[in-house]
Amino acid sequence: MTNPSTRVRGAGAPARRTLAAAARAAAKRTERPRRTASGGGASADAPPPEPLSGRTVVIEPADGWDDPPEPSSGTDAESPEDGREESVRGGRKENLEAGAADTADAAEVREAGDPDPSEASEASGGPDGSAGSRPERAGRSRRGLYAALLALLLVAGLVAVAVLGLRYLDAGRADAAREEALAAARKAAPVVLSYDHRHLDRDFARALSHLTGDFREEYRRTTKTVVAPTAKKYKGTVQATVVEPPGGGAPAASVVSAAPDRVVVLLFVNQVTESTQVTGPRLDLNRVRMTLSRTSQGWKVSAVDAL
């Protein structure tokens, strides 16, 4: 029979030898034949006693048994995971070797004169040959839009400044034209609207010097065909004057509208007419609208309307 073995957690080697000796002594005692109750001797006819099975003494230490040691993996068979790891390492090694070969081939090609694909891609602006990456193109597009808007605002500002400047200049020129044309109208009205049958040619020539454009030609034609024959026949005389206030001051004339090159003036004109058709002088109170235009010789009358 096998001897029991005991292990004591935390105990040393002497303790284990003591326990083993105690177990062997107990086993020997169980192997001894039982003595009969009749004097202690064995009967000759009695069959031999059956051997008793041995007893095992189990001693439980106070602090428990030590855990059995883990089986060593040194003799275990290789697991499938180890095989897969080995194949992966082998594949990586092959890939590294293939990459090194490709790099060496690329270096040989560059040395032979072929450009580097990466350098060609960078020179062309990107892998697809476009100018720069998408964010760079978007940034350039935004910058171009901002530049266009800035240029548009600049042009609009310049146009506004030019328009305002022109209006300011026109306003200044209109103010100057107002005064100049008003003075010219006061001077031209008595000459244009007066005549004397005794010197019609002189009077008509003086009037023509204040006229311009189509109205000048119309005045020449009318005085020659209508006014001159009638004045000579009836010995007519017309004397026109711009009305002046009773207390003195500037003649009664005002500007209706004014522009740098054209001014409309309203005048109050008195005409005294004498002829063989009337008895004594006749006074006519007229309102005359006179249009004056700027010419190279100054302000000239371009139209006259009786209101």
| Span 225-258, pLDDT tens digits | 999 999 999 999 999 999 988 777 778 899 999 9
pLDDT digits (tens, 9 = 90+) for 82-101: 555 555 565 566 666 666 65
Residues 193/282, Cβ–Cβ less than 8 Å: no
Confidence of residue 67 (pLDDT cuts 50, 70, 90): low
| pLDDT value, residue 294 | 93
Residue (of 141, 190, 139) closest to 301 by Cα position = 190
- Six-digit token pair at 193? 């609207």
Rounded CA gap, 4 and 151, in Å? 106
Q: Which CATH superfamily is domain 168-306 in?
A: VirB8 protein (3.10.450.230)
Distance between CA 193 and CA 271 in Å, rounded? 8
Going by the DSSP 8-state scheme, the letter that residue 259 receives in this structure is -
Considering only residues 42 and 183, tell me which one the structure prediction assigns the higher pLDDT: 183
The model's confidence at residue 70, banded by pLDDT at 50, 70 and 90, is low
Q: What gap in Å lies between CA 236 and CA 57, rounded to an integer? A: 176
Q: How many residues does the chain have?
A: 307
Confidence label for 170 from pLDDT (cuts 50, 70 and 90): confident
